[in-house]
Amino acid sequence: MREASVVVGTPLEIYRRFQQCLIQGTFERLPEVVDIEGYTENCVGLTGWTTGLNVALNNFRNIVASALTDMRSTEEDVIEGTDTLVIRSRMEATHSGPFLGIAPTGRRIVYDAVDMIRVRNARIVWRFLLCDWYGVQQQLRS
């Protein structure tokens, strides 16, 4: 990934840029809003704790983006502090690859996600993501 200029803004503005990069696949822009080396995340139920943007990005590509395509996110609730953000979003995606042990169904699914982030020096350094994976499994198996 290339080094990029820092995006200055609130945690919510930084998070929105982060989400935009993930959903649109413009991963080369992530260093603008994420601390590449210091980034730590836990996508509960999928990856456990990982450190480093490249490790987290590979997990996202291999586990989520390869299976859930045409993703859309709608912000439902936002709680923002000076360096912290908690946001509940409604996610929509098409199940187009193996996910949670289930072969692709082609179904459009909807699930809730709660994302918590911490920002330091205008970059995300910590992320804790909770998604309704049980609800996703129920939609894919019905």
- Give pTM, 2 decimals: 0.86
pLDDT in tens, 108-135: 999 999 999 999 999 999 999 999 999 9
Judge whether 113 lies within some domain: yes
* CA atoms of 33 and 41, how far apart (whole Å): 14
Q: What is the extent of the structural domain holding 91? A: 11-141
Cα–Cα distance for residue pair 91/104, rounded to 1 Å: 18
Q: Is there a domain that residue 68 lies in?
A: yes
- Using the structure block, give the residue that is written with the tokens 């200055």: 8
Tokens standing for residue 70: 């045409």
Number of structural domains the chain divides into: 1
CATH number, domain at 116? Answer: 3.10.450.50
Looking up tokens 């019905």 gives: 142
Instruction: Identify whether 99 is part of a domain.
Output: yes
For 44-84, the pLDDT digits (tens) are: 989 989 999 999 999 988 999 999 999 999 999 999 999 99
Measured distance between the N- and C-terminal CA atoms of the chain, rounded to whole angstroms: 40
